[in-house]
Amino acid sequence: MNKYSQLRAMFAITKASLHSIVRNPSAVVFNLVFPLIFIIVFGFISGGRFKIDVAVEKGSDMNNPVFQSLEKISTLNLIKEKATGEMYSELEKGRVDAMVSFVRNEKGVLVIDMKTTKASPERGSFFKVMLSEIIDEQNLSMTRTEVPMTELKEEVVEGRKYKTIDFILPGQLGFSLLSAGVFGTAFIFISLRQTLVIKRFFATPINKAHIILGESLSRLIFSIFSSVIIILIGTFFWLHTRERGCYFYKYDHTFDHSFDSISRIRVCSVGNCKE
């Protein structure tokens, strides 16, 4: 009799297991559809931009250069329609980050009354800085100085934008490892044991370690395969739409970004040998 090869038996299990996984709809859903949905959902979440809501009191004199400058700042969302009392309560709740009124006094000086709230201190102080900068500029221009004492030169370094997915990534990573370990291996063996499949295997000459190895190998292969598909969808589909400049244009960066992150998750989980 030829020498019995555990490896050959192991590959037989791997092959059978792969066939079984591919025909199992839940495996396909968990490995392909779920990650895709997660990526898309988190990708959209990260699309939100930083906005400061500023309420402008009714009856304010809007015909002044400060207000006009404020209107040009895209980060600011100026709310003009609401009644003063209502605005005040919104301010207390932090739904509005600041409140301003513009009144010219009898000397013709523009008095800007600004209220911020402890419910939203960061945005309030952001607004304060913006407002004082505009006021300083206005005041400075009145002095008609030809050469300023100090000059600020600004340069923004091109970098990787911070996105919500970066914040979510560690959690997803952990969950991915957890599900790989629990669903991918433990549950499979529990179910194979309950359905007596393992018992039938034990009646053949393969040893226990090679049964586990064979199962793990098939999951590793499937995991790599589904990662490749997800990365390919991310790379080709979203890039493609960007080239055409279609409807998805405004989100495309988000998608690229999340696919980039997710591919790193997948690679990590693959590195840990199953999913």
What value does the CA radius of gyration of the chain take, rounded to a whole number of Å? 31
Stretch that binds another protein, among 1-9, 40-48, 118-126, 177-185 (CB under 8 A): 1-9
> Is 208 a residue that touches another protein (CB under 8 A)?
no
> Is 162 a residue that touches another protein (CB under 8 A)?
no
| Three-state DSSP class for residue 128 | helix
What is the C-alpha to C-alpha distance for residues 265 and 247, in angstroms, rounded to an integer?
28
> Is 196 a residue that touches another protein (CB under 8 A)?
yes
Stretch that binds another protein, among 6-14, 32-40, 103-111, 248-256 (CB under 8 A): 6-14
What is the C-alpha to C-alpha distance for residues 36 and 32, in angstroms, rounded to an integer?
6
> Is 20 a residue that touches another protein (CB under 8 A)?
yes
DSSP secondary structure string, 172-230? Answer: HHHHHHHHHHIIIIIIHHHHHHHTTHHHHHHTSS--HHHHHHHHHHHHHHHHHHHHHHH
> Is 26 a residue that touches another protein (CB under 8 A)?
no
DSSP secondary structure string, 56-77? Answer: E-TT----SHHHHHHHH-TTEE
Q: Which uninterrupted H or E stretch holds 43?
A: helix 34-45
At position 193, the amino acid (one-letter code) is R
> Is 29 a residue that touches another protein (CB under 8 A)?
no
How far apart are CB 14 and another protein at their closest, in Å?
Answer: 9
- 164-193 mask for another protein (x: CB under 8 A)? ----------------------------x-
- With CB under 8 A as the contact rule, the residue among 24, 125, 132, 141 that binds another protein is 24
How far apart are CB 17 and another protein at their closest, in Å?
Answer: 7
Indicate the residue among 51 and 200 with the shorter CB distance to another protein.
200
